[in-house]
Amino acid sequence: METAVVNTDFKSQEYFINMGPQHPATHGVLRLLLTIDGEIIKKVDPDLGYIHRSIEKMCERDSYQQIVHLTDRMDYLSANINNEAVCLAVENALELEVTDRIKVIRTIVGELTRISSHCLWWGVMGMDVGALTTYFYGFRDREMINDIFEETCGARLTMNYNVPGGLMFDIHPNFVKRVKEFVAHFKTKIPEYDRLLSNNIIFQKRTKGVGVLTKEDAISFGVSGPVGRASGYSCDVRKYHPYSALDRVTFNEALRIEGDTYARYQVRIQELWESLSIIEQLIDNIPEGDYRVPTNAVIKLPKGEYYQKVETARGELGVYIISTGTKNPYRVKFRSPGFSNLSVLNHIAVGSKIADLVAIMATLDLVIPDIDR
């Protein structure tokens, strides 16, 4: 096959290798064209589009209720938060005020989603650098969250629990009890994560000082989420544009200044604690009220442009809807966090070794459909 993404200015001792499309460390179908000199990386050229499904084009055909169901196929590890973003955009456009009950449940479910995504990330991060045990530990805890979701809305991965106007169903009678059980369980497990991986000297040697990203570059590359915050860039959408019930809870924004792979790792570990804290503040006082506010069967947004940003497990997801007043959007753009986070890979990986690239990619926490859409 003709390699379209080859650069021409390479020297005689350099050579190309392909990493992926289906490399164990890319967790999806992403091809990286590496220009290397010995073991040192000179250039990383990502080749995307293997699972591009033209979701933005499909949105121009679909009704607003249908669009919600496409978004959880993008970042399937933050499915609930993706759904929430579209629902919030539609509700803002309709000036529809949802009940406190909806807001609080959305926030709890969103934070559970974040924990489950970080659990999976932690497991595969360990696996990428050669520690298989973490994979099973991460999945063990994530399983409890999936069980809670399954009981409440019937799905474990692509939830579709949020709909424009509220929630698909009310929470299951066991929901509160099981979430509390999970919180108590998980509080004893994060220290275990630390003992197993965070404090492991081999792991630290492989991640400290690797793939350093400065704050200025993070902002310029549009990097967000834990990747940005590890560089000292305060970019938590939950803090500066709070949505749902996030304005009524207190939590700390996880920040590090080193900007290296270990800092990105530490930010996510701290975020696990913060998400638990948010859930604890809300779980005992879920307000009474309707779980769904009536909407028209056919939603027509007023003519105009609507932008809603939320904080997914990977960073800032933006939903930009242009409406001409009909039942379909004129144009929808998803500003996905993974897309911007991937664009920084070449910048921070140059000069590292291939084994470092695996660790760097692991802490960028890429979900390929989130990039390809």
- Answer for the pair 313, 118: CB distance below 8 angstroms, yes or no: yes
Q: What does the per-residue mask of binding to another protein show for 240-259, with x meaning CB under 8 A?
A: x-------------------
Q: What's the CA gap between 254 and 43, in Å, rounded? A: 31
- Angle of helix 261-283 versus helix 354-364 axis, rounded to 10: 20
User: 331 is written with which tokens?
Assistant: 């144009």
Taking contact as CB under 8 A, which single stretch among the options 154-162, 179-187, 212-220, 350-358 is the one that binds another protein?
212-220
Q: Which is nearer to another protein, 52 or 185 (CB)?
A: 52
Question: Considering beta carbons, is residue 277 or 346 the nearer one to another protein?
Answer: 346
Cβ-based nearer residue to another protein, 38 or 49: 49
| Least distance in angstroms from the C-beta of 307 to another protein | 7
According to the binding rule CB under 8 A, does residue 219 interact with another protein? yes
Q: Which of 49, 154, 191, 351 binds another protein (CB under 8 A)?
A: 49
Task: Give the strand pairing for 40-47 and 31-37.
Answer: antiparallel
Site map for another protein, 296-335, x if CB under 8 A?
Answer: ------xxxxxx-x------x-x-x-x--------x-x-x
Q: List all residues 6 or more positions away from 250 whose beta carbon is below 8 Å from its beta carbon.
A: 281
- Return the SS3 of 58: helix
Query: Which helix (H) or strand (E) element contains residue 43?
Result: strand 40-47
The interface region with another protein, picked from 25-33, 52-60, 107-115, 259-267 by CB under 8 A, is 52-60
Q: Give the range of 28-36, 201-209, 215-223, 272-280 binding another protein by CB under 8 A.
A: 215-223
**Tokens found for residue 55:** 């979701």
Q: Is 360 in the site for another protein (CB under 8 A)?
A: no
Regarding 370 and contact with another protein (CB under 8 A), the answer is: no
C-alpha 116/C-alpha 369 separation (Å) is: 18
Q: Smallest distance from the beta carbon of 217 to another protein, in angstroms?
A: 7
Q: Does 340 bind another protein (CB under 8 A)?
A: yes
Q: Count CB neighbours of 277 within 10 A.
A: 16
Stretch that binds another protein, among 109-117, 169-177, 202-210, 232-240 (CB under 8 A): 232-240
Cα–Cα nearest to 157, from 65, 272, 73, 84: 73
Other C-beta atoms lying within 10 Å of the C-beta of residue 211:
26
Query: What residues from 53 to 92 belong to the interface with another protein (CB under 8 A)?
Result: 54, 56-58, 60-61, 92
Torsion over CA of 347, 338, 148 and 279, rounded to 10 degrees? 70
Instruction: Give min distance, CB of 224 to another protein, in A.
Output: 8
Q: Which stretch binds another protein (CB under 8 A): 16-24, 146-154, 218-226, 357-365?
A: 218-226
- Which SS3 state, helix, strand or coil, does residue 322 take? strand
If one asks whether residue 220 binds another protein (CB under 8 A), the answer comes out as: yes
Q: What is the nearest approach in angstroms of another protein to the Cβ of residue 335?
A: 4
CA-to-CA dists, residue 153 to 80, 168, 170, 171, 216, angstroms: 11, 8, 9, 8, 42
The window from 94-102, 152-160, 217-225, 254-262 that contacts another protein (CB under 8 A) reads 217-225
* Residues 354/367, Cβ–Cβ less than 8 Å: no
DSSP for residue 235? -
CA distance linking residue 164 with residue 233, whole number of Å: 32
Applying CB under 8 A, which residues contact another protein? 4-5, 48-49, 52, 54, 56-58, 60-61, 92, 217, 219-222, 233-235, 240, 302-307, 309, 316, 318, 320, 322, 331, 333, 335, 339-340, 342-344, 347, 372
